[in-house]
Amino acid sequence: MHRTKVKIAEDALDANTTIANANRADFDRHGVGVVNFMSAPGAGKTTLLEKALGGIDARVGVLEGDVQGSADADRLAALHLPVVQLNTDAGFGGECHLDANMVRSAIPDLPLAEIDLLVIENVGNLVCPAEFTVGEDARVMVSAVTEGEDKPLKYPLMFRTCELVLINKIDLLEHLDFDLDKFLYHLDAVHPGVEHMLISARSGEGIEGFRDWLQRVARRAPAAA
């Protein structure tokens, strides 16, 4: 029974990769760099985007993934960016992650010809989003210091598949028992040498560095059509 289950999972991941490649071709054709933005619930993804996308030197669109609701999309729309909401409970069975097919279903609503960078804010979850590529150039994850030092060891695939790890809420460090050196040691154990940034959406520390990083992903794409 377990073997059958694993086989189904492998087939599903193969199909996902095929669709992700089709997404990638569409993004390439329009010269759009794509970031898959992931974290646990409440790690601060939306607030970081609010801060980093304000004043960014690129034409940015956002695809907002949530099980239900449009609260985050509404917050980001206030930045006057094109934002498309994708709810995983509407026709997708309440999925805990975005997959390539869900992103594909949203592509017709995305103004790809008018943007240089697409940020896909995934569902808050440290497990399944890491297993499904959606056609992105790069993966960024947020790990808040309030979540503890052990998270790289408990969710290694997520930390291993990212190009950038944002260590968020560092304004709270002095009020926590969080050991930053221990976290970095664990991070290095699961993903040696991965780029990371200390950041705080609240104090603004590190926001500029993240904004610069996003601008480099936008430029990574071929010239816009």
Taking CB under 8 A as the binding criterion, the range among 20-28, 93-101, 132-140, 215-223 that sits at the site for its own copies is: 93-101
Q: Tell whether residue 184 is a contact of its own copies (CB under 8 A).
A: no
Task: State the Cα–Cα distance between residues 218 and 221, nearest whole angstrom.
Answer: 6
Nearer to its own copies, 21 or 105 (CB): 105
Phi, psi (deg, nearest 5) at residue 115: -130, 155
The yes or no reply on residue 41 touching its own copies (CB under 8 A) is yes
**Which residues lie closer than 8 Å to 144 by C-beta, 6 or more apart?**
39, 40, 42, 43, 44, 167, 168, 169
Residue 108 within binding range of its own copies, rule CB under 8 A: no
Q: How far is residue 130's CA from residue 136's CA, in Å, rounded to a whole number?
A: 12
Restricting to residues 63-92, which ones interact with its own copies according to CB under 8 A? 66-69, 71, 91-92
- Nearest CA-CA partner of 23 in 127, 131, 137: 137
- Shortest spacing between CB 157 and its own copies, in angstroms: 7
User: Which of 19, 32, 35, 40 lies at the binding interface for its own copies (CB under 8 A)?
Assistant: 40
Answer yes or no whether residue 198 interacts with its own copies by CB under 8 A.
no
Chain positions 42 to 61 lying near its own copies, rule: CB under 8 A, are 42
Does residue 95 belong to the site contacting its own copies (CB under 8 A)? yes
Contact between 224 and its own copies by CB under 8 A: the answer reads no
d(CA 177, CA 18) in angstroms, rounded, equals 44
Question: In terms of Cα–Cα distance, which of 35, 62, 27, 215 is closest to 138?
Answer: 35
- For residue 119, the cross-strand partners are 35, 62
The tokens describing 216, both together, are 């480099």
Least distance to its own copies from the beta carbon of 184, Å? 16
E strands within the chain? 33-39, 60-66, 83-87, 117-121, 138-144, 164-168, 195-198
Q: Does 161 bind its own copies (CB under 8 A)?
A: no
Distance of closest approach, residue 23 Cβ to its own copies, in angstroms: 16
Question: Contact positions toward its own copies, by CB under 8 A?
Answer: 2, 5-6, 9, 40-42, 66-69, 71, 91-96, 123-128, 131, 144, 146-148, 150-151, 153-157, 169, 172, 175-177, 202
